[in-house]
């Protein structure tokens, strides 16, 4: 039922965009240039939504906590720090080089975070994201410290915020990295499910725990750094979507992963369209709309779950 509804919503969103494009093309005859900027935007939106929500699923399985995602585990902040350092150390390096830096930092930070969480064995589920948020704010304080010394604080605040308006043909293709990631995740879905049962259980079921967890963190790091470089940071998507899906469809990853991906894309599309319509001739960056909507949903989720 909900699935059909969401499908309709996503179709509607797509249709609206299509009709908009046609309208503009009819009046200004700039069909080609329009699709060159509008279609990439659509692709980037869908891919980012899919990637971020799948990321959330993987992280939640590894940490075994429902409230974890790149924004609440320091991953986003670490990726920002990585880009920052690559900007100052090697200003000439291209998107791929920046991506590698962001990837390394994000991966290292995630590994550290997971090992902290596993070492302490929290009994309290809410503490895990709290520690992650604090960890992230310490990382971003380091980034700010560094940026302030190099006078690039303002520049940093520019790409700190998720924004799809910069997407045009030629500078967003790195986002397609998300496609193989999602395929790989789907392939390994069963293993990630087993991972979520804990180390002992997973090992006794014949799973190489360390390797699978490392693979999962690697997938997350690739996705996060690709989105941060092309779009910017978008918080809470990876947290809200998997939770909402799990409430309705349970935890069988092989079955729910496509739904999660679809819902993530739908949420981002909706947020993006809202952002474009809110102050019409201008745009609200998606980091704000998605952050606001996702944050409110997260709050509702928290209160609902705690009741």
Partner 1 sequence: MMRLPTRPAIWPPLLILLALAATFVFWSSGFDFDYVIPKRLARLAAIVTGGVCVAFSSILFQTIAGNRILTPAVMGYEAVYLLLQALLILAMGTQALVVVSQINNFFLSIAFMLAYSWAIHRWLLRDRKNNVYFLLLLGLVLSMVIGTFTQFVQLRISPGEFSILQGYSYTSFNRAQPMQLLYSGLLVAAACVWAWKTLPVLDVLSLGRDQATSLGVSYRRYVQFYLSLIALLVAVSTSLLGPTAFMGIFVANITYALAGSVRHRITLPLGCAIAIAIFLLAQLLVEHVFNYKTTVSILVNLVCGAYFLALMVRKQGRA
Q: Which of 286, 270, 277, 294 is nearest to 13 (CA)?
A: 270
- Neighbouring C-beta atoms of residue 199, cutoff 10 Å: 14
Q: Among 112, 141, 179, 205, which residue sits at the site for partner 1 (rule: CB under 8 A)?
A: 141
β-sheet bridge partners, residue 161 = 233
Q: Restricting to residues 17-36, which ones interact with partner 1 according to CB under 8 A?
A: none
Q: Does 201 participate in binding partner 1 (rule CB under 8 A)?
A: no
Q: Restricting to residues 144-163, which ones interact with partner 1 according to CB under 8 A?
A: 144-145, 148-149, 161
Q: Which stretch binds partner 1 (CB under 8 A): 88-96, 196-204, 246-254, 281-289?
A: 281-289
CB nearer partner 1, residue 138 or residue 201:
138
- Are the C-beta atoms of 105 and 81 separated by less than 8 Å? yes
CA distance 262 to 123: 33
In sequence order, which residues have a C-beta less than 8 Å from that of residue 253 and are 6 or more positions away? 57, 61, 189, 190, 192, 193
β-sheet bridge partners, residue 90 = none
Q: Which stretch binds partner 1 (CB under 8 A): 12-20, 80-88, 215-223, 277-285?
A: 277-285
In sequence order, which residues have a C-beta less than 8 Å from that of residue 300 and are 6 or more positions away? none
Minimum CB separation of residue 148 from partner 1 in Å reads 5
Minimum CB separation of residue 74 from partner 1 in Å reads 10
Go through the chain and tell me how many residues it has.
307
Residue keyed to tokens 């290292």: 108
Minimum CB separation of residue 287 from partner 1 in Å reads 8
**Binding positions for partner 1, rule: CB under 8 A:** 67, 116, 120, 122-124, 126-127, 129-131, 133-135, 137-138, 141-142, 144-145, 148-149, 161, 235, 279, 282, 284-285, 287-288, 291-292, 295-296, 298-299, 302-303, 306
């Amino acid at each position: 039922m909900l699935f059909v509804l969401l499908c309709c919503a996503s179709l509607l969103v797509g249709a609206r965009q299509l009709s908009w494009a046609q309208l503009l093309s009819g009046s200004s005859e700039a069909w080609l240039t329009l699709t060159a900027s509008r279609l990439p935007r659509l692709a980037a939106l869908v891919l980012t939504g899919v990637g971020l929500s799948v990321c959330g699923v993987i992280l939640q399985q590894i940490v075994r906590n429902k409230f974890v995602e790149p924004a609440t585990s320091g991953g986003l902040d670490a990726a920002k720090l990585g880009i920052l350092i690559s900007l100052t150390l090697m200003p000439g390096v291209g998107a791929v080089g920046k991506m590698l830096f962001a990837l390394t930092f994000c991966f290292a930070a995630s590994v550290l975070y997971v090992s902290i969480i596993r070492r302490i064995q929290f009994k309290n589920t809410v503490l895990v994201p709290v520690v992650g948020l604090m960890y992230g704010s310490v990382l971003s304080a380091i980034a700010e410290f560094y940026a302030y010394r190099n006078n690039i604080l303002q520049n940093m605040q520019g790409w700190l915020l998720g924004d799809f308006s910069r997407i045009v043909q030629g500078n967003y293709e790195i986002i397609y990295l998300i496609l193989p990631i999602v395929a790989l995740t789907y392939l390994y879905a069963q293993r990630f499910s087993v991972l979520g049962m804990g180390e002992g259980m997973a090992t006794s079921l014949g799973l190489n725990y360390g390797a699978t967890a490392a693979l999962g963190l690697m997938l997350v790091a690739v996705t996060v750094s690709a989105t941060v470089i092309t779009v910017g940071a978008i918080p809470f998507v990876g947290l809200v979507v998997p939770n909402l899906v799990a409430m309705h469809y349970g935890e069988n990853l092989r079955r729910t992963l496509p739904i999660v991906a679809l819902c993530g894309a739908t949420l981002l599309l909706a947020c993006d369209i809202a952002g474009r319509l809110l102050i019409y001739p201008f745009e609200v960056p998606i980091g704000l709309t998605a952050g606001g909507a996702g944050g409110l949903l997260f709050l509702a989720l928290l209160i609902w779950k705690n009741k």
